[in-house]
Structure 1
Amino acid sequence: TIVYIILDAFRWDYINEVDTPTIYNMSENGIHAEKLISSAGFTQRSAMFTGTFADKTGNFTMFSYDPANSPFRFIKPFRYFLKLLDDYKLISSVLRHRIIYPLTKKYASHAPTAWIPFEVLHLIGVTEDVKPIYEPNAFGVESIFDIMHSENIKFEYLMFPVINGQDETALEETLKRTEKEADIYLLQFSNSDELCHKYGSESKKRHDITAEMDHKISLIQKRFEKYYDKVTFVLVGDHGMMDTSEIVDVQKIINSHANKQGLRHGKDYLLFLDSTMARFWFFKDRAEKIIKQILNSSELLNKGFIITNNIANKYRIPVPNRRYGDLIWWANPGILIYPDYFHKFEKYNAMHGYDSYHDKMKGFAIIYSKDIEPKKIPEVKLIDICPTICDLHGIRYPKENEGRSLLHDK
């Protein structure tokens, strides 16, 4: 039996003997990949379950430009009325969560509106969660789940979005299902992401957060080791987190300068704001030229950079691409785009989604069982998790896998 636990945004250097004694003990007595380079973008599940990158899976960020298949396309006739409600937090939140989100279930398994402006919401599609990722053919390429279905491997999926950021629920459901005798349990703890965003990755509160997560893992370890003769734990911090040093209102800068030059958002160009990326689609030739001039102006010049073909090739990013953007501006580490389409009313003190090779963007991986031979591996990639899980199960790798199993790394 394998217990696979994702610790969302749990940075490699959070592990220590004081705050996280359970994780520390596993790292000292198991296979410990001390640093893990995540995939660029915001679709880490695609990388870890297929063993390849966004340029092959087709999944790079949570949202894409997809007016024909948008799960929000039904609001198009009402978009100008809804636009009037965008700045009213309570009313807008109720509309988004209680009315619009349930209606999207007809088109996608999980399609939150976040804080995407109502005026352009009908143009936006979702990527990873059109189908539940644990179902067959959910990704653009073959995944671990496709193989597990074909080989009748029994699994319990308790990760996002089945359990969405609720660590207590994840713990309770995992302990409750221990006796189901699945071949693999997949779960996720998210407080290291959600709460460290709020309090900061270097704050005193972060130590309390990681200590509480460690306690949950200790409860799971005790329960599973008591019930099963042989159990292997796989712990993965899928990416890191770093405190923000400066805030940039990209939306205000872009739209104000563009308006002065006669461009209209939603008509001449479309802007989508992730926390660390500004993505653009152009509907008029002159719009691209003007937007590039704004991005290279003094207000933004030293805050980030336009992703060129060379950068895209290095990070395996599928751009330029009509789905993800004709042009993408990537913020420098520590620069926070605010407001963005995920955080409109609350500024965060820490963020991820920066250069995945930056040390503070790195996670970790641990494989632990009572009979495993301990070893240290200095650095691995997130895609290496896929073949590792396959080897632990004794199943073949997905067809597009490019990862290297931690069991074979010397």
Structure 2
Amino acid sequence: MKDRLSLFIMIDACGWEIVKNHPFLQSMAPHRRRLESVFGYSSTCVPSILSGRWPDEHRNWCYFVYNPAESPFRPLRALRWLPTALTSRRIVRRYLTKFVKTHLGFRGYFDLYNIPFRYIHLFDFTEKKSPLQPRGMNVGPNIFDLLEEKQVPYYVTNPALPEEEHLRLLLADIKSERIDFAFQYWAGLDGLLHSVGNDSPEIPKKLDHYDAWISQVMETARKHYRHIDLHVFSDHGMANCDEHLDLRAKIDTLGLRMGIDYAVVYDSTMARFWFLKPGVREKVETLLATVPEGRILPEEELRHYRTWFDDQAFGELIWLAREGVLIVPSHMGERPIRAMHGYHPTDPQSYATLFSNTDQVPEDLTHIPHIHRLMEQAVLAHAAARSSQPATP
């Protein structure tokens, strides 16, 4: 029997508002806390958790950025002649995404989403590496770099596999006593919330499902480890989308030319603009000021939430929708979905969660990047314990 196992389990989109009145993990991890997320999507949140740094430090923020000089997607522009009725279909995009990811050698999460092929040559993709692997950050190290450096044996989720397989592999590593540290990432709740919203009776059932899985993990771990440190957490919450906004149609009334006068990425809750000719910014700002469903974020606020980039690589102007407003159609999808995240970090449904089986979590652990502290402490403790063990003859 080994001495200690550190279990870190991330449940994507398990927001505070979703679980605060649910008896989730009440017996296994009774110490619960609301955490402030970071401004952005999972593309921002997960790297922030894994590195302990903020978006302006690790530069894993939004996926698509205007960068025609280095765009890897130029060959895809030939597909612009295909009918939109075909190229906007999700199944077509899914197969193309798999082909392009393999061809370009991208190792992180990748999706072509709904970027029009006539404009795709204008954009680059920012997550070419996987934050769930060593040397996987755009800038700086992550927790897996530390695990490798300290030679602490660990388990980490392979996102390409289904959740049930994640559970099986983790249980196998625990039974073999191979690992001292585990980072499990379950994304099924996120997908379910997008489909049915956070008021659906399917959500408590999914939480009960995870509760049973974690109970199984803990029951197995107790047979092989004397001490188990359990931390279950999320990256953000999820807001129901009861209002739809065609922001692209409003911008199109200006008569500006995409790729000549300006460039824009319409995310699900944000619009990020680059201005290519004088006077264009003023026209866009004037129009956006008439759109009550959201607002332009000033530099001071972006700096406060650590998403201001001096090179403006992710956008020269950031417009953010009000919580519950979905930009549709957008470059993320042509059709509405029931719920979305990526709103302001202090909107009610944006808050994340932390559940622990110990009451020793520091009081100043208040934001999701702080979870890295718990992981770092665990890794260093395991490394110290291993170094103090007598060498085997």
Once the two structures are superposed, the pairs formed by residues 244-323 of structure 1 within 5 Å of their partners are: 244-255=241-252, 257-259=253-255, 263-297=256-290, 300=291, 302-319=292-309, 321-323=311-313
CA contact (8 A) 2:13 2:190 kept: yes
Tell me the residue number matched to 2:183.
186
TM-align CA RMSD: 2.6
Distance (Å, rounded) in 2 between the aligned partners of 1:365 and 1:343 = 31
Tell me the residue number matched to 1:326.
316
Report the AA paired with residue 130 of structure 1: K
* 1:58-104 deviation per Cα after TM superposition (whole angstroms, max 9, x unaligned): 1211232333443423324x153357566551673365235333322
Question: Alignment identity in percent?
Answer: 24
Tell me the residue number matched to 1:146.
145
DSSP 3-state at the match of 2:353: strand
Give the TM-score taking structure 2 as reference length: 0.86
Tell me the residue number matched to 1:400.
none
CA contact (8 A) 2:243 2:325 kept: yes
Once the two structures are superposed, the pairs formed by residues 3-18 of structure 1 within 5 Å of their partners are: 3-15=7-19
Tell me the residue number matched to 2:171.
175
Tell me the residue number matched to 2:61.
60
Distance (Å, rounded) in 2 between the aligned partners of 1:282 and 1:343 = 24
Stretch moving more, 372-381 or 128-137: 372-381
Distance (Å, rounded) in 2 between the aligned partners of 1:56 and 1:376 = 23
Report the AA paired with residue 283 of structure 1: L
Stretch moving more, 82-91 or 186-195: 82-91
Tell me the residue number matched to 1:157.
156
How far 1:375 sits from its partner (Å)?
7.3
CA contact (8 A) 1:79 1:120 kept: no
Q: Would the alpha carbon gap of residues 124 and 85 (structure 1) be closer, same or farther in structure 2, given more than 3 Å must change?
A: farther
Distance (Å, rounded) in 1 between the aligned partners of 2:238 and 2:109 = 25
DSSP 3-state at the match of 1:46: helix
Tell me the residue number matched to 1:401.
none
Stretch moving more, 39-48 or 135-144: 135-144
Q: Quick check: 1:44 aligned with 2:45?
A: yes
Q: Would the alpha carbon gap of residues 71 and 235 (structure 1) be closer, same or farther in structure 2, given more than 3 Å must change?
A: farther
* 1:290-315 deviation per Cα after TM superposition (whole angstroms, max 9, x unaligned): 21122112xx1x21111111111221
Q: Would the alpha carbon gap of residues 203 and 212 (structure 1) be closer, same or farther in structure 2, given more than 3 Å must change?
A: same
Q: Quick check: 1:217 aligned with 2:219?
A: no
Distance (Å, rounded) in 1 between the aligned partners of 2:130 and 2:72 = 12
DSSP 3-state at the match of 1:174: helix
DSSP 3-state at the match of 1:305: strand
Distance (Å, rounded) in 1 between the aligned partners of 2:146 and 2:97 = 34
Q: For structure 1, which runs of at least 5 residues remain unmatched after alignment? A: 397-410
| Count of residue pairs brought into register by the alignment | 375
Q: Quick check: 1:231 aligned with 2:228?
A: yes
Tell me the residue number matched to 2:391.
none
Report the AA paired with residue 178 of structure 2: E
Give the TM-score taking structure 1 as reference length: 0.83
Report the AA paired with residue 215 of structure 2: S
Distance (Å, rounded) in 2 between the aligned partners of 1:41 and 1:386 = 18
Distance (Å, rounded) in 2 between the aligned partners of 1:108 and 1:375 = 33
* 1:10-56 deviation per Cα after TM superposition (whole angstroms, max 9, x unaligned): 01243368653xx122332xx43x20101111211221122121111
Once the two structures are superposed, the pairs formed by residues 349-388 of structure 1 within 5 Å of their partners are: 349-368=338-357, 372-373=358-359, 380-388=366-374
How far 1:335 sits from its partner (Å)?
1.0
Distance (Å, rounded) in 2 between the aligned partners of 1:365 and 1:275 = 26
Q: For structure 2, which runs of at least 5 residues remain unmatched after alignment? A: 383-393
Tell me the residue number matched to 1:26.
28
Once the two structures are superposed, the pairs formed by residues 114-133 of structure 1 within 5 Å of their partners are: 114-131=113-130, 133=132
Q: Would the alpha carbon gap of residues 232 and 312 (structure 1) be closer, same or farther in structure 2, given more than 3 Å must change?
A: same
Distance (Å, rounded) in 2 between the aligned partners of 1:86 and 1:325 = 30
How far 1:142 sits from its partner (Å)?
2.6
